[in-house]
Amino acid sequence: MVVIVVVKTKSMKTPTNCYLVSLSIADLLVLVAAVPNEIISYYVLGDQWIWGRLGCALFIFLQYLGINASSLSITSFTVERYIAICHPMKAQKVCTVHRAKRIIIGVWIFALIYCCPWLFLTKVEPIYYKGYCDIETCTFALSRKHYLGYFFADLLIFYVFPLLLSCLLYALIARILFTNNNITKNVGNSRLCHPSTVNSKKNSPANDNARVQVVKMLIVVVAVFATLWLPYRAWLVYNSFAEHRYMELWFLMFCKTMIFVNSAINPILYNALSVKFRRAFKQMFYNCCKKRSNNKINGQKRKHLTDHSSHNMKRNTNTLTTSAPKSCAKPETFQEEL
């Protein structure tokens, strides 16, 4: 939905929204690669893997690809907002839609290369119960200790570093906006003494409010990302060091559910926190409904015209039929006269 709104609405094609489209695609990839499989494997078949070796590799690869691309997209729009607000002169050259698209392509290429090892680090193995091979499951190809470096790289690159950077940059953004707000108030007070400055500064409060609204929305997105990913990341760190791993099924399912909620909630946040997104969503639905209504009306008109033309053709046919004997009557009369 977010992708459609940004693509179809010209005013929504901004650098920030390009990053939000990348984030939405990454979230959708996580949901498509993980949710149906989790439901079928754990709730329908009872931990039985049915997709084979290739499916095991692809599902794990796509999940991590979406997760990592999502984190990098969040980092990218945080940096973009920082440059746009704190360095407006530089932003005119740096913060463009064209550059945003190039950065997004780079983000996905990096995530793709980084996640490629998962295509070779998974396997399908049988689970034996009382000496019998009951079911198969998708698991790691090597011992868990061989994955510690990979897991910690994930933790640092795609969770700790993005959060620390986001906290730092949003603190700097808040300081700039607060300073600009004080300047705007002082300018507003000076207008009482110098009315001629009204026209030159009249758009400043509106621009500041729009910036504050966008920053608030992005801060909420980052905060939700950090909160919903925290249980899984904490569980992973604990099991990496603990002598006895914590493997309660309910907690593992809770962690996965939080990840899925994080992937599904962003469009709701955009609607709730952004007036511009909300307006674009409404306009898209209005245009869709209007198009359907017009198609229905046009269909009724075409049907009416078809029925009307059929009626006219039928009436013309009847007229020709009834007039035919009159044209044949004269020869008969002529023969009688002869």
Q: Is 135 helix (H, G, I), strand (E, B) or coil?
A: strand
pLDDT at residue 293 in the model: 67
The CA R_g of the chain, rounded to the nearest whole Å, is 33
189-210 pLDDT, tens per residue? 555 454 544 444 444 566 667 7
Of the listed ranges 27-31, 61-65, 287-291, 300-304, the least confidently predicted one is 300-304
The Cα–Cα gap between 184 and 206 comes to: 11
The Cα–Cα gap between 184 and 30 comes to: 43
Q: What would the two tokens of residue 303 be?
A: 């049907």
Q: What would the two tokens of residue 260 be?
A: 């899925």
Question: What would the DSSP string read from start to end of 275-329?
Answer: HHHHHHHHHHHHHHHHHHHHHHHHHHHHHHHHHHHHHHHHHHHHHHHHHHHHHHH
Q: Residue 232 burial (CB < 10 Å; 0-12/13-18/19+)?
A: buried
Q: Which residue has the tokens 């006219």?
A: 312
Q: Identify the DSSP state of 169.
A: H
pLDDT average, residue stretch 72-87: 92
Percentage of the residues of the chain whose pLDDT score is greater than 90: 30
276-310 pLDDT, tens per residue? 777 887 887 777 787 766 666 666 666 656 655 66
Torsion of CA 106, 111, 113, 114, to 10 degrees: 140
pLDDT average, residue stretch 121-139: 72
Average pLDDT, the chain: 78
Of the listed ranges 67-81, 144-158, 225-239, 291-305, the least confidently predicted one is 291-305
Residues near 215 by beta carbon (within 8 Å), at least 6 away in sequence: 81, 85, 170, 173, 174, 177
136: phi then psi, degrees, rounded to nearest 5:
-115, 155
Residue 244: count other Cβ atoms within 10 Å of its Cβ. 6
The Cα–Cα gap between 61 and 122 comes to: 9
Instruction: Please check the confidence at residue 331 and state whether its pLDDT lies above 60.
Output: no
> Are residues 271 and 278 in contact, defined by beta-carbon separation less than 8 angstroms?
yes
The Cα-based distances of 118 to 59, 147, 166 in angstroms read 10, 11, 28
pTM: 0.76
Of the listed ranges 80-84, 181-185, 272-276, the least confidently predicted one is 181-185
Instruction: Please check the confidence at residue 107 and state whether its pLDDT lies above 50.
Output: yes
135: phi then psi, degrees, rounded to nearest 5:
-140, 170
The Cα–Cα gap between 156 and 168 comes to: 16
Q: Which residue has the tokens 């009834």?
A: 322
pLDDT range class, residue 136, cuts 50, 70, 90: confident
Q: Which residue has the tokens 């084979």?
A: 52
CA atoms within 13 A on the CB side of 43: 8
Instruction: Please check the confidence at residue 231 and state whether its pLDDT lies above 90.
Output: yes
Of the listed ranges 7-21, 44-58, 124-138, the least confidently predicted one is 124-138
Structural domains in the chain, sorted by start: 2-188+201-280 (1.20.1070.10)
